[in-house]
Chains A and B, each alone.
Chain A
Amino acid sequence: MADTPAIQTDALVKRYGRGGTTALKGLDLSVAMGEVFGFLGPNGAGKSTTIRILLDLIRPTSGSVRVLGVDPRSSHELRGKLGYLAGDFVVNGRQTGRELLTYLGDLRGGVPAQRIDQLASSLDLDLTKRIGSLSKGNRQKLGVVQAFMHRPPLLVLDEPTSGLDPFLQQQFVELVREAADNGQTVFMSSHVMSEVQQTCDRVGIIRAGELVTVEHIDDLRKRALRKIEVRFGADAPLLEGIAGVTDVVADGKVLRCKLSGDADALVKAVAQHHVVDLISEEPELEELFFTYYRHGEA
């Protein structure tokens, strides 16, 4: 089982209706067991379509899909091993949180009430209130609880933290890390770069129904542009032709530029001058993603 991928799709195509839009154009994706995989892309790129195919809520037009080694179409029992959370978590509001969670737990063959209570209290969620009277954020917390409560081997999360405030996003990150430590696989689409950076091992970027790239988050970070600011004792020298350095602007004693990759060449170039201060900002993955989103190739 160890080498069975948690998720494997081959040439997955999804067309909606006859002559309708093609949401996926041959997606090849492989997510290993125990991995935390970030699935990123602009709206309408096919993220939710992929996720809904994994849960057998919709069926692919062609291509194959295996989840934990099983075709989702072939067995509804597979979904017992999955936890699913959609960004817009909607349920009938005329029931309490506990009623809903008990019902969903029962559909899964029962989840200990203690586990539900513990998750709810860690998220500061009141289960006795009618869901209709809860705020959007609190409703989303219910969604988080139902996805995590049975400790599924595979979590499939579709923009899970939309509507959560930054504090709760941080708690969510903790939950994902806990799940990962526990050996659970997490497949997560997200727009929140900080949570992707904090949780994911690898990210796949999808654009217009095709996978543009899959990379380790560390590799991405290395290639991401860093903003550099160097303050000199005298007027800033004009540095040109240094490997990895672009957008050089000299403003009095301050030099600003962008750096990608190795900083060695830049440091050695400025070292010939009197350097008062040197600031290197944490790489912004967001910007790198934007370039992928727009152009496909960075």
Chain B
Amino acid sequence: MRVFMKSLRDNRRGWIGWTLALTAIAAMYASFYPSINNPAMADALNSFPQGLKEAFHMEDYTKPENYFAVSVFGLLVPILVAVFAISAGVKAIAGDEEAGTLDLVQAHPVSRISLALQRFSAILSALLAVAAVMCLVVIALRGPGQFTALSPGHILAICFQLALFGLLFAALAYGVGAWTGRRVYAIAAGAAVAVLGYLGDSFFTQIDGLKWTEKFSPFDWYLGGEPLKNGVQWGHAGLLVGLAVLFVALGTWRYNRRDIAV
């Protein structure tokens, strides 16, 4: 637990900053909803080309579950959550190792596995905290933002899937970093999956023959089942958690066996 607490403490400023920024962005988009929900805007949006609307998942934008899936939880928030998760995952082992500061702690009586898992658990708590704060703030805005049609349960569902979406990227960056000890590999792996996953869920789906890519995109596992309409998608949630567990297990296994770089 000491390593876990120390991780929270060392990262408190950054993690609180991310929580506030992500929540502010979500709140900002949510408070725009009343200005979208009028006939003039609906006409304007309906005149967009069908392909573009599909790419941005913009069909019937004036309904809150659609608007929220696209704007509040659709674009900027998941991308920033992925960035946050990747940066935290990279730092846990690889960043510390390249800074030369991992040596000292591992020269203490704490096992490699315990140290690594405690640090990852700290990231998991941070992701859950981000999702929880965002969830509470969006629920609190339902009245003032005129989207009471959106049930708190569904908002909770999408925030839960957002946390798992972040967990996948944190686990990937952590796993690659713990396996290799190199920051750049961990960042590259996280960024590649984020970019390909995003394209796979949006633009590739516009190309016949590439539609299948959607099925392999973490963005689809997060939003594809429309948790704002249908609640938690347990299949997708299981996929996100399962892969995260796999990445964490592999990275930790290798970290326990390899040399720590100077």
- The reply to whether chain A is a binding partner of chain B is yes
Q: Are B262 and A48 in contact (CB under 8 A)?
A: yes
Interface residue? A221 (CB, 8 A): no
Distance, CA A108 to CA B107, complexed state (A): 11
**How far, in Å, is A157 (CB) from chain B's closest CB?**
12
Q: Are A107 and B260 in contact (CB under 8 A)?
A: no
Interface residue? B34 (CB, 8 A): no
Cβ–Cβ < 8 Å partners of A89 in chain B: 104
Q: Are B109 and A79 in contact (CB under 8 A)?
A: yes
Distance, CA A48 to CA B260, complexed state (A): 13
Q: Are A57 and B10 in contact (CB under 8 A)?
A: no
Q: Are B2 and A103 in contact (CB under 8 A)?
A: yes
Distance, CA A58 to CA B59, complexed state (A): 56
Q: Which of A130-172 contact B (CB under 8 A)?
A: 146
* Residue of chain A at shortest CB distance from B96: A92
Interface residue? B211 (CB, 8 A): no
Interface residue? B42 (CB, 8 A): no
Q: Are A76 and B109 in contact (CB under 8 A)?
A: yes
Contact of B104 among A16, A58, A76, A84 (CB under 8 A): A84
Distance, CA A59 to CA B259, complexed state (A): 6
Interface residue? B106 (CB, 8 A): yes
Q: Are A103 and B6 in contact (CB under 8 A)?
A: yes
A-B contact count (CB 8 A): 64
Distance, CA A104 to CA B2, complexed state (A): 9
Q: Which of A53-94 contact B (CB under 8 A)?
A: 55-59, 76-80, 82, 84, 86, 88-92, 94
Q: Are A108 and B109 in contact (CB under 8 A)?
A: yes
Given A90-B101, A92-B10, A107-B2; A79-B108 close (CB under 8 Å): yes
Interface residue? A280 (CB, 8 A): no
- The total of chain A residues at the interface (CB under 8 A) is 30
Distance, CA A58 to CA B262, complexed state (A): 10
Q: Which of B1-21 contact A (CB under 8 A)?
A: 2-3, 6, 10
Cβ–Cβ < 8 Å partners of A291 in chain B: none
Cβ–Cβ < 8 Å partners of A109 in chain B: 109
Given A92-B10, A92-B101, A103-B2; A77-B109 close (CB under 8 Å): yes
Given A48-B262, A58-B260, A90-B100; A104-B10 close (CB under 8 Å): no
Q: Are B6 and A57 in contact (CB under 8 A)?
A: no
Distance, CA A247 to CA B127, complexed state (A): 74
Interface residue? A106 (CB, 8 A): yes
**How far, in Å, is B29 (CB) from chain A's closest CB?**
33
Interface residue? A95 (CB, 8 A): yes
Q: Are B105 and A107 in contact (CB under 8 A)?
A: yes
Interface 0/1 of B105-140, CB less than 8 Å to A:
111111110100000000000000000000000000
Q: What is the interface of chain A, defined by CB distance below 8 A to chain B?
A: 16, 48, 52, 55-59, 76-80, 82, 84, 86, 88-92, 94-95, 103-104, 106-109, 146
Enumerate the 9 nearest inter-chain pairs by beta-carbon distance, A residue then B residue, closest first.
A80-B109, A58-B259, A84-B107, A76-B111, A107-B108, A90-B100, A79-B109, A57-B260, A55-B107
Given contacts A107-B3, A108-B109, 12 further A-B contacts (CB under 8 A): A48-B262, A52-B262, A55-B107, A57-B106, A57-B107, A58-B259, A80-B108, A86-B104, A88-B100, A103-B2, A104-B104, A106-B2
